[in-house]
Structures are given as structure tokens and as C-alpha cells.
């Protein structure tokens, strides 16, 4: 196995690049999941506030 050293560097670079790509994709997915969870919680809170407001309106009108 008498290969030039630059071939080894290219091979190592490809492997490092693949590992970093996988790691970055995982980090982005975690950030996206956290953002989605936060936005979903805001939506639920707005729905509950609207439900309470409607209950008050119905009780005041009756």
C-alpha cells in the first residue's frame, strides 16, 4: 500500500466532513424542535386565553 500522503489527507478530510455534516444536521434538528415546541406552547396559550375571554363574554351577556 504505497499511496501518496495527499491521498490519505483527502480521505481523512472526507471522513471529517461527513462527521461534521451529521453533527451539524443533528444540532439544527434540536434547535428546530425547540423552536417548534415554543411556538406551539404560545399557540396553546392563545387558544386558552380566547376560550376564557369567550366564557366571560357569555357569562356577562346572560
* Radius of gyration for the alpha carbons in the chain, expressed in angstroms and rounded: 27
Per-residue pLDDT at 59: 83
What are 8's three cell numbers?
Answer: 490519505
CA dist., res. 31 & res. 23, Å (int): 13
Which pTM does this prediction carry? 0.62
Instruction: Give 3's pLDDT tier (boundaries 50, 70, 90).
Output: confident
Largest CA distance in the chain: 91
62 pLDDT tier (thresholds 50, 70, 90):
low
Q: Bigger pLDDT: 37 or 62?
A: 37
* Phi (first) and psi of residue 3, to 5 degrees: -105, 150
pLDDT tens digit sequence for 19-61:
999 999 999 999 999 999 999 999 999 999 999 999 888 888 7
Amino acid at each position: 500500500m504505497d499511496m501518496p500522503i495527499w491521498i490519505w489527507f483527502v480521505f481523512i478530510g472526507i471522513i471529517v466532513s461527513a462527521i461534521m455534516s451529521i453533527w451539524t444536521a443533528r444540532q439544527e434538528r434540536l434547535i428546530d424542535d425547540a423552536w417548534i415546541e415554543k411556538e406551539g406552547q404560545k399557540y396553546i396559550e392563545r387558544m386558552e386565553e380566547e376560550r376564557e375571554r369567550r366564557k366571560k363574554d357569555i357569562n356577562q351577556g346572560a
